[in-house]
Amino acid sequence: MPQVMEFKLPDLGEGLTEAEIVRWLVAVGDVVAVDQPVVEVETAKAMVEVPCPYGGVVTARFGEEGQELPVGAPLITVAVGAQSVPAGAVEAAEPGAEGSGNVPRPLIGYGADDSRPARRRRVRPVTAAVSAPVAAPVPVPVVAAPAAPAAPPAAAVPAGPVAVISPLVRKLAKDHGVDLRALHGSGPEGLILRADVEAALAAPRTSEPVPAPAAVAAQGERIPLKGVRGAVAEKLSRSRREIPDATCWVDADATELMAARAAMNAVGGPKISVLALLARICTAALARYPELNSTVDLAAGEIVRLPAVHLGFAAQTERGLMVPVVRDAQGRSPESLSAEFARLTELARAGKLAPADLTGGTFTLNNYGVFGVDGSTPIINHPEAAMLGVGRIIAKPWVHGGELAVRQVVQLSLTFDHRVCDGGTAGGFLRYVADCVESPAVLLRSL
């Protein structure tokens, strides 16, 4: 008699309380092995493949793709036992895998930034029913219906895998009935992007009635405030509610900084980014003004100055704005900072950042100049105490050496928590950053 085990959505760590089902990896009746991924979920911070700690036959699934489930809600039930798993139904597992119990502990970053290849096993359908009836728990499980004969395709489409990386692009296409195999991707090597799906949706469809303009205006578009967008909205709202912030800004002549970067990159070796140089300047400034590398403990009524600088940086991705964190940035060289920025940015755009990569920051650097804008008033990334915003570096008329000249000018904006310091401290920090931008030798003297 097989034993039916219920596998619940585990604690994904870092304060996350729910996750959205992106894609089921198994169906009812499939045989699963211990630690085999059974579902791909999206939290407010990362995409995670969730492995099941039980081996056996899947008897029920809970939730549809696109549905949010709270931590602790049932995901699947598995009939465990020798009679429930036909011999040879699953390829041999790795030695020691059975009973590993990897899932019950918090899945902080599990499967999102793992150096090991995903351990997928071929699943063969089970034709025999489980020997004993299984009582379905609440909520009502989604039970697979008998397969219907497949309809012939309307048009020939290319065979093979679809060039799509983002599960969100797949979901958008599925929700609107767009055949991904019929699209030609505009990304690198034909990669299908969100813009390609949206372009297909915008194309006229002769088979569908076109609503009147008045009807379209009355309906509007409703976008669920969940996932990354919901997490950003909650964090920014909390920042505005709790933090009495103020902003100061200054224009700086970045000509010498850009010349120093060009000289550093001309000698060979790893290339150094402008963001890395600005990050190095920030860590030096925070060493002089540690008030801005702190947080406020409201419960204790205390300001907590933090010993290390865990530097967050804003990165725009298809999933929305994300802020990966570079750990112990104060001890890194410009080369190390450049490499870490590049690594985390690549993971962010691929949707593979672990939750731990997006939390624990103590200060944020926001380079909105990449969008072609000069200035902004950044909103502090709660519970941090400050954020430095950097506009575009652009040629402008500037008085240099007593004469009018064309120089590379950038606007720097500092938003700070007025509870942790006064304007004199914030102004001193920003002025030091500007001095280092205008004359990198100032930074060298402080090292």
Where do the structural domains in the chain lie, given as residue ranges? 1-148, 158-209, 244-446
For domain 1-148, give the CATH number.
2.40.50.100
Three-state SS letters, 195-254: HHHHHHHHCCCCCCCCCCHHHHHHHCCCCCCCHHHHHHHHHHHHHHHHCCEEEEEEEEEC
Which of the pair, 447 or 418, is modelled with greater confidence?
418
- Residue 262's SS3 state is helix
- Residue 187's SS3 state is coil
Q: pLDDT (tens digit, 9 = 90+) per residue, 5-32?
A: 999 988 776 556 788 888 899 999 999 9
pLDDT of residue 14: 53
Q: What is the value of pTM for the model shown?
A: 0.58
Catalytic site positions: 418
Per-chain mean pLDDT for the chain: 79
CB of 2 closer than 8 Å to CB of 130: yes
* Distant-in-sequence, close-in-space partners of 75: CB < 8 Å, separation ≥ 6: 7, 8, 9, 38, 39, 50, 52, 61, 62, 63, 69
Per DSSP, helices labelled H in 330-440 are 334-349, 423-438
Cα–Cα nearest to 58, from 123, 118, 138, 11: 123
CB count within 10 Å of CB 300 equals 8
- Residue 284's SS3 state is helix
State the burial class of residue 102 (Cβ atoms within 10 Å of its Cβ: 0-12, 13-18, 19+): middle
Q: CA of 14: how far to CAs of 45, 108, 111, 179, 360, in Å?
A: 9, 7, 15, 36, 9
Q: Tell whether the model's pLDDT for residue 34 goes beyond 70.
A: yes
Q: pLDDT (tens digit, 9 = 90+) per residue, 319-369?
A: 778 899 999 999 999 999 999 999 999 998 888 888 889 889 999 999 999
pLDDT of residue 430: 98
Q: Tell whether the model's pLDDT for residue 131 goes beyond 50.
A: no
For domain 244-446, give the CATH number.
3.30.559.10
For domain 158-209, give the CATH number.
4.10.320.10
pLDDT of residue 45: 63
- Residue 337's SS3 state is helix
pLDDT of residue 162: 65
State the burial class of residue 351 (Cβ atoms within 10 Å of its Cβ: 0-12, 13-18, 19+): buried
